[in-house]
Amino acid sequence: MSYRILIAEDERKIADFVFRYLKKEGYLVDIKYRGDDALAMILTDPPDLVILDIMLPGMDGLEVLRRMREKIYLPVILLTSKSDETDRVVGLEMGADDYVTKPFSPRELVARVKAIFRRMEALKGVSGSADIIKSHNIKLDLKTRALESGKRSTTLTSIEFSLLKLLMKHPGRVYSRDELLDLIWGEEFIGETRTVDVHIKNLRKKIKGLGGSPDIIRSVWGVGYTFED
């Protein structure tokens, strides 16, 4: 299957550079140089993944992300500068799956893209009513990627789903941040361990929004996280 990727990047040299590498890997690639144009394509002709620069004319990347999350779920990799830590964290909290800081290696970006598509393929292979994990007062549907409690439900991003699935399948097992990065993002990930913290925070917020206790994902000081047994 040839996945289709949208690059939203106003620096044409970077956009063309990324375009060539992704095409070489066999992906179908579109480029938009303005945020408003990127959002219009996402909502009318959605790609399979968006590589989204934070600093875009017309509409900045965070606003594009916010508006698209109101309408549609697509995996998003943010492109940020090293000085954009605050925006990077905000982007992750808004539902971005990953980020790459400029300047970056095209091989690193391609590895991140491949990791997201591997997770998507893994999710497609899950089916059957038995593929539901229940614990405390929440239920994780492995087929629909929905987190449910009573009659309420919410959809998880691919990262959130993979994290919660791993933790719920191994209650009481403590995972370090580095272990979670290796298992969920892949060994090629070279970002910050804080990325894990932001996604855990998002999960806790969604669990709380369903009426569950966010503390079922417990922090183990100086180590990482565990799901309460």
- Predicted confidence (pLDDT) per residue in 101-145, tens digit: 888 888 888 888 988 888 777 666 544 445 788 888 888 888 777
Give me the residue label for tokens 């993944």: 49
* pLDDT at residue 1, as a whole number: 58
**Whether residue 202 is found in the same domain as residue 149:** yes
**Whether residue 89 is found in the same domain as residue 33:** yes
Residue 140's domain comprises 132-227
Q: Supply 205's token pair.
A: 């917020």
Top-confidence residue, 65 or 157:
65
**Whether residue 172 is found in the same domain as residue 220:** yes
d(CA 73, CA 155): 9
Residue 79 has pLDDT above 80, yes or no: yes
Count the residues in the chain. 229
Helix (H) or strand (E) holding 14: helix 12-24
**Given 74, 99, 124, which residue is the final one in a domain?**
124
Instruction: Give me the number of domains the chain comprises.
Output: 2
Q: Report the mean per-residue pLDDT for the chain.
A: 86
**Whether residue 116 is found in the same domain as residue 175:** no
**Given 124, 151, 166, which residue is the final one in a domain?**
124
Residue 18 has pLDDT above 90, yes or no: yes
**Whether residue 34 is found in the same domain as residue 146:** no
The pTM of this model reads 0.71
Residue % of the chain over a pLDDT of 90: 37
Q: Supply 64's token pair.
A: 């594009």
Average pLDDT of 27-53? 95
**Whether residue 146 is found in the same domain as residue 171:** yes
* pLDDT at residue 128, as a whole number: 44
**Whether residue 156 is found in the same domain as residue 91:** no
> Could you tell me what percentage of the chain is helix, strand and coil, using 3-state DSSP and rounding each to the nearest 5?
45, 25, 35
Average pLDDT of 74-84? 83
**Given 73, 99, 124, which residue is the final one in a domain?**
124
pLDDT, tens only, 147-198: 888 888 888 888 888 889 889 888 889 999 888 888 887 766 666 778 888 8
* pLDDT at residue 127, as a whole number: 45
**Whether residue 32 is found in the same domain as residue 65:** yes
Give how far Cα 155 sits from Cα of 2, 76, 193, 206, Å.
Answer: 25, 15, 24, 9
Average pLDDT of 10-33? 94
Residue % of the chain over a pLDDT of 70: 92
**Whether residue 140 is found in the same domain as residue 218:** yes
CATH value at residue 151: 1.10.10.10
Residue 39 has pLDDT above 50, yes or no: yes
CATH value at residue 16: 3.40.50.2300
Going by the DSSP 8-state scheme, the letter that residue 215 receives in this structure is G
Query: What is the identity of the amino acid at 135?
Result: S
**Whether residue 144 is found in the same domain as residue 66:** no
**Whether residue 41 is found in the same domain as residue 96:** yes
Q: Supply 10's token pair.
A: 């106003």
Q: How confident is the model at residue 15 (pLDDT cuts 50, 70, 90)?
A: very high
d(CA 82, CA 96): 17
**Whether residue 82 is found in the same domain as residue 169:** no
